[in-house]
Amino acid sequence: MYLPDGYTTLDKISENDDYAVYDLFFGPNHPGMHGNFGYVLDMVGTEILRVRPNAGQLHRGFEKAMENKLWAQNLSLIPRVCVPDPDPNEVAYCQAVEAILGVEIPRRARYIRSIVLEMSRLGSFLMGMGGVGGALGHYSTMYLMMIDRDLILDLFEALTGGRVYHIYNIPGGVRRDIPDGWTDKLLELCDRLESKLPEWDRLLYENPVVQDRLGGLGYISAEEAMSSGITGPSLRACGVKADVRIDTPYAAYDEIEINSKLSEGGDALARAVQVRLDFEEAVNIIRRLVKQLPDGDYKLDLGNISKLRVPKGDAYSKVEASKGEFGYYVVSDGGLKPYRVSVRGPSMPAGMYLCHKHLRGMKIDDVAVWMASFAICPPDIDR
């Protein structure tokens, strides 16, 4: 039983009374839980005394399975690591393979990858914002946002053939070119999403009840967030200008202007607003990417991709996913299969470490909201 510094296992209430502390299972089968994950809460009344994360319900041994499959076969496994936001996984893996191979992919492929990544981000953000609404009992936001997420999935289907898992990025580029007229539909969708923003603002972010609920919840300072592995929108919500797209540019982000706005405050409200700001910016980034989309090849000819051999070496590649930094550490021994693939999911620090600090002393009311505000996605904790 792990407790952070300064916390003792025995509380003075539980010393005197065996029945004051009881276990409450928050998940895995719980409507407030996003995915299959659980916290065992030791409660006193409605207040949480300590928390034991109960991970592993979604564990499926990805890292082992990837060692037993060809480099190209793994592409079908990888998007399943993070279900709502699959494309960053594909891109991160492909980039790591390309780095070991030492190849540079065509410019058009890099742009297409960026477009796909931003679309995936939009879909995931819609799910995340809806999740905050759902955790607050504000189901209308969830219902309305899911329509627009589905429209994004429709475009994905037109581009890649898959609704949720796209398996679109391959080492050397993307699987196929953008079909005719697809970019127009994408721009139409961007307009639609942007026109929806005021409605969502009124429904969710300007709603006084939501502001009362989220304000001050789960505060984390910038310094603490940086040194406890928090990344992505949650870190930017503390006022830290940290974005993998800017810090270590990949795909086409070195040629695209990214004007991330920062919401400051470091609490759940700031994190929710940060997601909304990032959403708006992602729509603009897609517009810029489509505008600058160059002609040319969409992939590099690497021969028969199922017989791909990657030279001995290792590389770490990271991507800014909707929940934070998604990283793949790929080790090759020069064979037909990866020697080791190690995945860094963005949810681990918040879901497995920060929960000890933040949930302690919190009321049961706020657990689901806290989880939604940190966008904790269990599949990438368990892998």
Query: What part of residues 218-247 is at the interface with other proteins (CB under 8 A)?
Result: 226-229, 231, 240, 242, 247
Q: Are 337 and 331 in contact (CB under 8 A)?
A: no
Which residue blocks in the chain are alpha helix, DSSP H? 12-16, 62-67, 74-77, 87-101, 107-135, 139-160, 182-200, 208-214, 222-227, 233-236, 244-247, 268-292, 348, 355-359, 367-373, 378-382
**Is 77 a residue that touches other proteins (CB under 8 A)?**
yes
Nearer to other proteins, 34 or 271 (CB): 34
Tell me which stretch binds other proteins (CB under 8 A): 77-85, 177-185, 284-292, 298-306: 77-85
Nearer to other proteins, 65 or 290 (CB): 65
Q: Which of residues 297-316 bind other proteins (CB under 8 A)?
A: 314-316
Q: Give me the 169-208 binding string for other proteins, x by CB under 8 A, dash otherwise.
A: ----------------------------------xx--x-
Q: Give me the 327-346 binding string for other proteins, x by CB under 8 A, dash otherwise.
A: x-x-x-------xx-x-x--
Choosing from 11, 42, 63, 280, the residue that interacts with other proteins (CB under 8 A) is: 63
| Cα–Cα distance measured from residue 220 to residue 130, given in angstroms and rounded to the nearest whole number | 23
Choosing from 140, 191, 296, 307, the residue that interacts with other proteins (CB under 8 A) is: 140
| Residue 190: both structure tokens together | 């961007």
**Is 284 a residue that touches other proteins (CB under 8 A)?**
no
Please state whether 33 falls in left (phi above 0), alpha (psi between -120 and 50) or beta: beta
**Is 7 a residue that touches other proteins (CB under 8 A)?**
no
**Is 144 a residue that touches other proteins (CB under 8 A)?**
yes
Tell me which stretch binds other proteins (CB under 8 A): 49-57, 183-191, 267-275, 280-288: 49-57
Q: Cα-flanking dihedrals φ and ψ of residue 91, to 5°?
A: -65, -45
Element (H, E) at 314: strand 313-320
| Cα–Cα distance measured from residue 67 to residue 127, given in angstroms and rounded to the nearest whole number | 31
Q: Are 260 and 253 in contact (CB under 8 A)?
A: no
| Cα–Cα distance measured from residue 326 to residue 79, given in angstroms and rounded to the nearest whole number | 12
Tell me which stretch binds other proteins (CB under 8 A): 111-119, 182-190, 259-267, 325-333: 325-333
Spell out the long-range contacts of 198-203 with Cβ–Cβ below 8 A and sequence spacing 24 or more. Answer: 199/144, 200/129, 200/141, 200/144, 200/145, 200/276, 201/276, 203/133, 203/138, 203/140, 203/141, 203/144
Choosing from 47, 68, 103, 191, the residue that interacts with other proteins (CB under 8 A) is: 68
Choosing from 61, 179, 216, 335, the residue that interacts with other proteins (CB under 8 A) is: 61
Q: Least distance in Å: CB of 114 to other proteins?
A: 18
**By rule CB under 8 A, what count of residues binds other proteins?**
100
Q: Least distance in Å: CB of 295 to other proteins?
A: 27
